[in-house]
A and B are shown apart, each in its own frame.
Chain A
Amino acid sequence: EVQLVESGGGLVQPGGSLRLSCAASGFTSSSYWMSWVRQAPGKGLEWVANIKQDGSEIYYVASVKGRFTISRDNAKNSLYLQMNSLSADDTAVYYCAREPFLYFDHWGQGTLVTVSS
Chain B
Amino acid sequence: QSALTQPASVSGSPGQSITISCTGTSSDVGGYIYVSWYQQHPGKAPKLMIYDVTNRPSGVSNRFSGSKSGNTASLTISGLQAEDEADYYCSSYASTDTRVLFGGGTNTRVVFGGGTKLTVL
Residues of A within 8 A of B (CB): 35, 37, 44-47, 50, 57, 59-62, 65, 95, 100-110
Give chain B nearest CB distance to A7 CB in angstroms: 15
Shortest CB-to-CB span from B2 to chain A, Å, is: 6
Q: Are A103 and B114 in contact (CB under 8 A)?
A: no
B46 touching A102, Cβ below 8 Å: no
Which stretch, B17-25, B67-75, B76-84, B104-112, touches the partner chain A?
B104-112
Q: Which of B46, B103, B110 is in CB contact (< 8 Å) with A107?
A: B46
Pairwise interchain contact B108-A61, C-beta atoms closer than 8 A: yes
Chain A: which residue is nearest B36 at the CB level? A103
CB pair B45–A59 under 8 Å, yes or no, is no
Beta-carbon contact of A44 and B108 below 8 Å: no
User: Contact: A102 with B93, CB < 8 Å?
Assistant: yes
A109 to B112, CA, bound (A): 19
Additional pairs, 14, CB under 8 Å, beyond known A44-B113, A65-B106 = A35-B110, A44-B2, A44-B112, A44-B114, A46-B112, A47-B91, A57-B103, A62-B106, A95-B46, A103-B36, A104-B36, A105-B51, A107-B46, A108-B45
Question: How many B residues, CB 8 Å from partner?
Answer: 26
Indicate if the CB atoms of B45 and A44 lie closer than 8 Å: no
A107 to B111, alpha carbons, bound, how many Å?
Answer: 17
Flag if B45 contacts A47 (CB, 8 Å).
Answer: no
Sample 10 A-B pairs with CB under 8 A, ordered by A number: A44-B114, A45-B38, A45-B46, A45-B112, A46-B112, A59-B109, A60-B108, A65-B106, A102-B109, A103-B36
